[in-house]
Amino acid sequence: MYRALTRDIEVVVEPFYLEEQSDPDDDRYVWGYRIVISNHSKEAVKLVTRYWHITDMNGIVDEVTGPGVVGEQPHLKPGDTYEYSSGCPLDTPSGMMFGHYQMETDGGEQFHVKIPAFSLDTPNLLRTLN
């Protein structure tokens, strides 16, 4: 698992390879990831937008932005936790992702919450170190 903490908002990511949705013979590799966002702060926040920076093992970058997550813009009061799952296809057997959420307090202040960088690796991937 991967963790990041920004202004007492914790983001935990657990990636997993989806073999049944992947087709290596057709250069299609799919991962799911489970994210838990916990508000340890003393103020309520709303997740307004998301930003993802996705890099495959060839260095090809894809950037994704949009409102909320999985069609929702959750509002987290102090002590609340929000969990969701999503996925990411790549053309290569490994890659990495990181990003941020734009949050907004009930008072209208906006700030970014870091999503930790995490690795997407197929099981049994052979790596060569030089």
Give the pTM.
0.92
23 lies in some domain: yes
Residue 94 has pLDDT above 60, yes or no: yes
1 lies in some domain: yes
What's residue 123's pLDDT?
85
Strands 2-6 and 45-56: unpaired
CA 1 to chain centre: 12
Residue 127 has pLDDT above 90, yes or no: no
Phi, psi for residue 70 in degrees, rounded to 5: 40, 45
130 lies in some domain: no
What rounded mean pLDDT belongs to the chain? 95
127 lies in some domain: no
The residue with greater pLDDT, 65 or 127, is 65
Number of domains in the chain: 1
Give the CATH number for residue 16.
Answer: 2.60.40.1470
Mean pLDDT of 96-115: 98
124 lies in some domain: no
Using 50, 70 and 90 to split pLDDT, how confident is the model at 98?
very high
Give the largest Cα separation in the chain, rounded.
52
Cα separation, 40 vs 30, whole angstroms: 32
Q: Are 116 and 98 in contact (CB under 8 A)?
A: yes
126 lies in some domain: no
Range of the domain at 13: 1-119
Mean pLDDT of 17-43: 97
Strands 29-39 and 9-17: antiparallel
